[in-house]
Structure 1
Amino acid sequence: MGNNIRITKKFDFETAHALYGYDGKCKNIHGHSYKLFVTVIGKPITDKSNVKYGMVIDFGDLKKIVKEEIVNVFDHATVFNKNTPHVELAKDLEALGHNILLVDYQPTSEMMVLDFAKKISKRLPKQIMLHSLKLQETETAFAEWFAYDNN
């Protein structure tokens, strides 16, 4: 029997985006109150002399990683796909003092969660694995990423 434990931390951030070429209302700039659930898996530290004894990862350490990589970058930003004509709109808004984030993908929940998985995974200690991400865009809609779907 293994000792792997999954722990999850939830993050909230506000982000606007527009989906270039989309055939519905989401082609217009609009915002969401995103909720991001980050689940990692690992074994609790067994060394009693370690200040993190009994923890898989300190929630504060996980918070620091996700805040630096995701929340502080995306919160109150407007996200556009830089490979579309939206780049011109982005330049205009940026000149007016708006917080603009240009990404190399269509900023859907699906593509954002893929981006987040890469960024968070790179920062985790080697004995901790990213297990899953759940990015909730609205009360009833979310995208999920699982490590075992991506091996």
Structure 2
Amino acid sequence: MATIRLTKEFSFEAAHALEGYDGPCREIHGHSYRLFVTVKGEPSTAEGDPKCGMVMDFGVLKRIVTEEIVGRLDHTLILRATAANEELRATLSRQFGNIAEVDYQPTCENMLADFAQRIEARLPQGVQLWSLRLHETATSFAEWFAEDNRPGA
């Protein structure tokens, strides 16, 4: 049977600030993120399987990514949880309800590593995460590839 890759696109709106950064991105600013999730596997060949002919149901992939990424981050302010910005986070939390605290600098690159772990943990047996692409803007994106992130790669 052939190995097939499936890709689904997602989008979410979020703001972030890069603590300690030496450029304009140290300020709170927002992005219209576009996330492309690609998985690979072999389509089911079991005649009695309602998913016969599919690597995975696009609806299942949508549910996983929505629960793990989009639902958590859409319309949030993403800030690194450090002692240096604890007061800022507390002040903003009194006014705004959607502040996502992460244990890493919320760059596109670090977000992808986080997303990969979250998605991989939820994929059905026999389906592998192949790649992620996260656009911060129409012309700027970062990519994560499984082959670069496996032992011995």
Say whether the fold is shared (TM-score over 0.5).
yes
Equivalent position of 1:14 in the other structure: 13
Q: CA–CA distance in 1 between the matches of 2:106 and 2:95?
A: 22
Equivalent position of 2:27 in the other structure: 28
Q: 5 Å matches for 1:132-147?
A: 132-147=131-146
With 126-135 and 95-104 compared, the bigger mean Cα shift is at: 95-104
Shift of 1:87: 2.5
Instruction: Give the alignment's TM-score, normalised by structure 1.
Output: 0.96
**Given the alignment of the two structures, is residue 94 of structure 1 paired with residue 93 of structure 2, yes or no?**
yes
Asked whether the 8 Å contact 1:20–1:84 carries over to 2, the reply is no
Equivalent position of 2:129 in the other structure: 130
Q: CA–CA distance in 2 between the matches of 1:34 and 1:86?
A: 24
Identity, in percent, stands at: 55
Cα deviation per residue 1:90-147 (whole Å; 9 max; x = unaligned)?
A: 1111111331011000000000000000000000012100000000100111010000
Asked whether the 8 Å contact 1:81–1:87 carries over to 2, the reply is no
Q: CA–CA distance in 2 between the matches of 1:70 and 1:46?
A: 31
Equivalent position of 1:109 in the other structure: 108
| Stretches of structure 1 lacking an aligned partner (at least 5 in a row) | none
Cα deviation per residue 1:24-46 (whole Å; 9 max; x = unaligned)?
A: 11100000000000000000010
Name the Cα RMSD after superposition: 0.9
Amino acid at match of 2:15: A
| Stretches of structure 2 lacking an aligned partner (at least 5 in a row) | none
Instruction: Give the alignment's TM-score, normalised by structure 2.
Output: 0.95
Q: CA–CA distance in 1 between the matches of 2:86 and 2:114?
A: 19
Which secondary structure does the structure 2 equivalent of 1:14 belong to? strand
Q: CA–CA distance in 2 between the matches of 1:84 and 1:136?
A: 29
- Change over 3 Å in CA distance of 1:145–1:110 after alignment to 2: same
Q: 5 Å matches for 1:40-59?
A: 40-59=39-58
Count of aligned pairs: 150
